[in-house]
């Protein structure tokens, strides 16, 4: 089983002004002359963390991480500024291009999991000429069926105790549409309303990410400032259906046919269940499909991590 490369620190970092009053934190680590790769984090709103540098051989790759609008070290943080009007899928696609140009990168590998896979697909379908390879994990495309599964009751049947905590902040007469109800709660100006709602939203996701519960992960997600930015941004995207037509990313997968790709999916992923990865693979049979038999959603579960590093190692010399 492959596992993380040793921990490394960035050799360069900064804030990129992308307009709309937004500044994105970015960092570069690994080999300054290596193969460029950009890591697209999940959420939306999840931010980056040091372990994300470690799925790439630092001797081979020039590793680029950045925090998307409103989260991580980017400014302003969504826990303090509730105006998300300039935070959409297509703003993020444009941000990736601005970052590529600022770093002087011609083409690069794109790596994304969960929401990061959504953004990777949207970026690659818009700019296929800029993508050398795609490494995708826990496929999510914001279709109504996917959102209904996780936020309107499907996954709740699998985790009824955790689901009870998720629906608790929502008045009973609003539970017919939980995403819409949470939109109201998370944007209520009263901290006594939006604070507990944010923690409940984020805790629900953390409880379903791994095949076996991880209390450390749940604690990270339930930290109030993190939870508020994470929940507000996710809910904002989901209420607006990602500013895409339903099924758009799978419909347009033919644009990716010339890009080598690996799709890594946990068999027991409750957050982004395997039917989406399978639908993408059927629309894009050229992509290699890896179904991990003993894994959920998290990128650092052993079987998923092994498959991801196998893919980045294999693509390192292309």
Q: Do 121 and 40 contact (CB within 8 A), yes or no?
A: no
How many CA within 13 A on the CB side of residue 137? 31
Q: Which pLDDT score, from 0 to 100, does residue 68 have?
A: 98
Assess whether the previous peptide bond of 26 is cis (omega < 30° from 0): no
Low-confidence ranges of the chain (pLDDT < 50): none
Q: Residues 169-180: pLDDT tens digits? A: 999 999 999 999
| Global confidence as pTM | 0.97
Residues taking part in catalysis: 114, 269, 297
Beta bridge partners of 81: none
Determine the 3-state secondary structure of 90 from DSSP: helix
Q: Which pLDDT score, from 0 to 100, does residue 153 have?
A: 94
Q: Which pLDDT score, from 0 to 100, does residue 165 have?
A: 97
Listed residue (129, 17, 111) closest to 63, CA to CA:
111
Q: Residues 52-89: pLDDT tens digits? A: 999 999 999 999 999 999 999 999 999 998 899 999 99
**Residues 208, 116: Cα–Cα separation, whole Å:** 17
In the chain, the domains with their CATH numbers are 12-141+243-316 (3.40.50.1820), 145-242 (no CATH)
Structure tokens at 285: 């049979």
Give kind and range of the element (H or E) at residue 109. Answer: strand 108-113
């Amino acid at each position: 089983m492959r596992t993380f490369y040793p921990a490394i620190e960035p050799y360069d970092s900064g804030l990129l002004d992308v307009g709309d009053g937004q500044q994105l934190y970015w960092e570069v680590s690994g080999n300054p002359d290596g193969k460029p790769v950009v890591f697209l984090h999940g959420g939306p709103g999840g931010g980056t963390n040091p372990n994300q540098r470690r799925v790439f051989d630092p001797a081979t790759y020039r590793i680029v991480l950045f925090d998307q609008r409103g989260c991580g070290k980017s400014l302003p943080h969504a826990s303090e500024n509730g105006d998300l009007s300039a935070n959409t899928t297509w703003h993020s696609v444009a941000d990736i291009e601005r970052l590529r140009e600022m770093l002087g990168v011609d083409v690069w590998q794109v790596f994304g999991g969960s929401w990061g896979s959504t953004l990777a697909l949207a970026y690659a379908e818009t700019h296929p000429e800029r993508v050398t390879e795609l490494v995708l994990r826990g496929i999510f495309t914001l279709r109504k069926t996917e959102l209904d599964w996780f936020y309107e009751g499907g996954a709740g049947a699998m985790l009824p105790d955790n689901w009870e905590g998720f629906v608790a902040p929502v008045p009973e007469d609003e539970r017919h549409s939980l995403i819409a109800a949470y939109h109201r709660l998370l944007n209520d100006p009263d901290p006594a309303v939006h604070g507990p709602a944010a923690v409940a939203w984020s805790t629900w996701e953390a409880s379903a990410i791994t095949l076996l519960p991880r209390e450390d992960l749940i604690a990270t997600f339930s930290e109030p400032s993190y939870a508020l930015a994470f929940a507000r941004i996710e809910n904002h995207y989901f209420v607006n259906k990602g500013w895409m037509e339903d099924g758009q990313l799978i419909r347009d997968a033919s644009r990716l046919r010339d890009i080598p790709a690996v799709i890594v999916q946990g068999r027991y992923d409750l957050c982004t269940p395997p039917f989406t990865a399978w639908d993408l693979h059927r629309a894009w049979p050229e992509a290699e499909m890896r179904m991990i038999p003993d894994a959920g959603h998290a990128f650092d579960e052993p079987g998923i991590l092994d498959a991801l590093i196998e893919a980045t190692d294999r693509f390192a010399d292309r």
